[in-house]
Structure 1
Amino acid sequence: MNTIQPNRIAVRGLKKSFGDNAVLRGVDFTVRSGEVVVIMGPSGSGKTTLLRSLNFLELPDTGTIEVSGVQVVRNGGKLTRDDQKKIRAIRQRTAMVFQSFNLFPHRTALENVTEGLTSVKGIDKARAQQRGMSLLDRVGLAAKANEYPGRLSGGQKQRVAIARGLAMEPEVILFDEPTSALDPSLREDVLVVMRELAKEGMTMLVVTHEIRFAQDVADRVVFMDGGVVVTDTYPASFFNSPASPRVREFLHLIDG
């Protein structure tokens, strides 16, 4: 008998403004354990701000964020000590893969992967290197362990970034347009790794315009526009029979 999986992420009433620019206007959605949820929407719709708010790289103004049972409620004002403790706990449970890779240029691929293991988790260097090599092998880059980012292709850098995220054994991985900075010939190497993670049951929230990935891998597609969730539905419904005119217009633009 199938059991309903618990929520890994629950967002309610999330708002965020930058000055007079209201980027998130009250966002609500959930992601269940093991789900792959793709977020789509036009530029400026709030997708990246939403993702960055989930691990508090951006501090939301108001609303509730819950990740793996750790809940932070924002009602404006400064963070309390308890809030800060909870945010650290959320960050320990999540990993984020950025569009621009965010690797340390002066560290090798292996050192980029092991940095968090030694500095955050306190794992000794030998064990960290062993785990780092295992993860680089997992993303097909064991042979590049001693290369610096400047000598890696964009696709290789992104796979190192994924390995770095996995090193922290996250319960959720947040992907912010992980292939948008890559040449078409390099995107598939990254998408293959992401597909494998999905097969293994990793909970993933992915901001992307990769239609094929969303069709093949996503459990749900969330469409944002104007700082709100316009639709949250299954990929087949989203791509084949979109109810919203804004979704139809968006799909026409990215498919054209």
Structure 2
Amino acid sequence: MSQDSPKVAVTSLVKSFDKLPVLRDVNLEVYAGEVVVILGPSGSGKTTLLRSLNFLEQPDSGTIRVCGHGISIARGQPLSREDKQQITQLRQKTAMVFQAFNLFPHKTALENVTEGLISVRKMEKSQAIARGRALLKQVGLAEKADSYPAKLSGGQKQRVAIARGLAMEPEVIFFDEPTSALDPELRDEVLSVMRQLAGAGMTMIVVTHELRFAREVADRVIFMEGGAIVANEKPAVFFDDGASPRIKQFLNRY
């Protein structure tokens, strides 16, 4: 795990929806090879923070730097042309895995994985197909290459979504509640793939309620409440040694 400069750096991030504060002066750094899990109650700002990192949500103010591409946002100021170029470059270095899979229903598993390679990266179709098949094999779905999403279980859909993200060779993957729509057996399929990625050194930021995953795989656990980061600890401290009464109360619910 490199400690040279952070892969993700967030400074003084603020975001409101209809004057309701959702992120309050959030500061965070994530280094190469780190797995950072974000926990917190519903409405704490976890997903908004994650979506702000690749500008699926535009913050009101603050600075975001991801994989060497930085944008400073001033309240009330539109994004400049250079800012938009930075966002495009930032997105090319990251991947997002969503709770709802977001697969193309009219495309097979293989076509979902290769779509970005062909349309965005302009890769030769034969080369993209070879890479797509290798990635489906990596997530345990080689035999489902020609299946459409409607014929896949939730866990299989999420693994296809992970393969699709990996196809673009991201430096950082953001996971937004990747297992919350799945039953326990299917959750384990997805978490197993995520463990493999962590073991291979992928930088990951994961919003989840999977406490066992956080305890066993995370390098750091972030706890958010009321739009702010109220704890940023190693798992041993977060779960065992230094948990505040509020965090203990939260953990006892799961």
Query: TM-score of the superposition, structure 1-length normalised?
Result: 0.97
1:78 deviates by 1.0
- Asked if the contact 2:8/2:31 (under 8 Å) is kept, the reply is yes
Aligned to 1:111: 111
- For residues 146 and 239 of structure 1, what CA distance do their matches in structure 2 show? 43
Aligned partners of 1:25, 1:232: CA distance in 2, in Å? 16
State the AA in 1 paired with 2:71: V
Q: Which residue of 1 aligns with 2:81?
A: 81
Aligned partners of 2:141 and 2:208: how far apart in 1? Answer: 23
**Contact 2:10–2:29 under 8 Å retained in 1:** yes
Number of residue pairs aligned between Structure 1 and Structure 2? 253
Q: Which has the higher mean CA deviation after the structures are superposed, 49-58 or 68-77?
A: 68-77
Alignment of 1:1-256 (within 5 A): 4-76=3-75, 77-254=77-254
Which secondary structure does the structure 2 equivalent of 1:253 belong to?
Answer: coil
The CA distance in 1 between the partners of 2:150 and 2:243, in whole Å, is 45
Greater shift in the superposed pair: 236-245 or 33-42 = 236-245
Q: Is the 8 A contact 1:39 1:223 kept in 2?
A: yes
Distance 1:74 1:4 in 2: 26
CA contact (8 A) 2:2 2:32 kept: no
Cα deviation 1:129-186 (Å, max 9, x = unaligned): 0100000000000100000000000000000000000000000000001000001111
Give ranges in structure 1 of 5+ residues lacking alignment: none
Deviations 1:1-38 (A, max 9, x none): x9634310000100111112110011001000000000
Counterparts of 2:204 and 2:218, CA distance in 1: 9
Query: Structure 2 CA distance, aligned partners of 1:205 and 1:253?
Result: 23
Q: Please give the alpha-carbon distance, in whole angstroms, between the structure 2 residues aligned to 1:152 and 1:5.
A: 42
CA distance in 2, matches of 1:9, 1:79: 20
Equivalent residue letter for 2:107 = R
Q: Is the contact between residue 242 and residue 248 of structure 1 (CA under 8 Å) also seen in structure 2?
A: no
Q: Residue type matched to 1:155 in 2?
A: G
Q: Which runs of 5+ in 2 are unaligned?
A: none
Alpha carbons 1:172, 1:203 under 8 Å: kept = yes
Q: In structure 2, what residue type is equivalent to 1:74? A: I
8 A contact 1:96–1:176 mirrored in 2: yes
* Superimposed CA distance per residue, residues 193-216 of structure 1 (whole angstroms, 9 cap, x where no aligned partner): 000000110000000111111111
Residues 149 and 11 of structure 1, relative CA distance in 2, 3 Å threshold = same
Equivalent pairs: percent with the same residue? 63
Residues 214-242 of structure 1: CA deviation (Å, up to 9, x unaligned): 11110000000000000000001111134
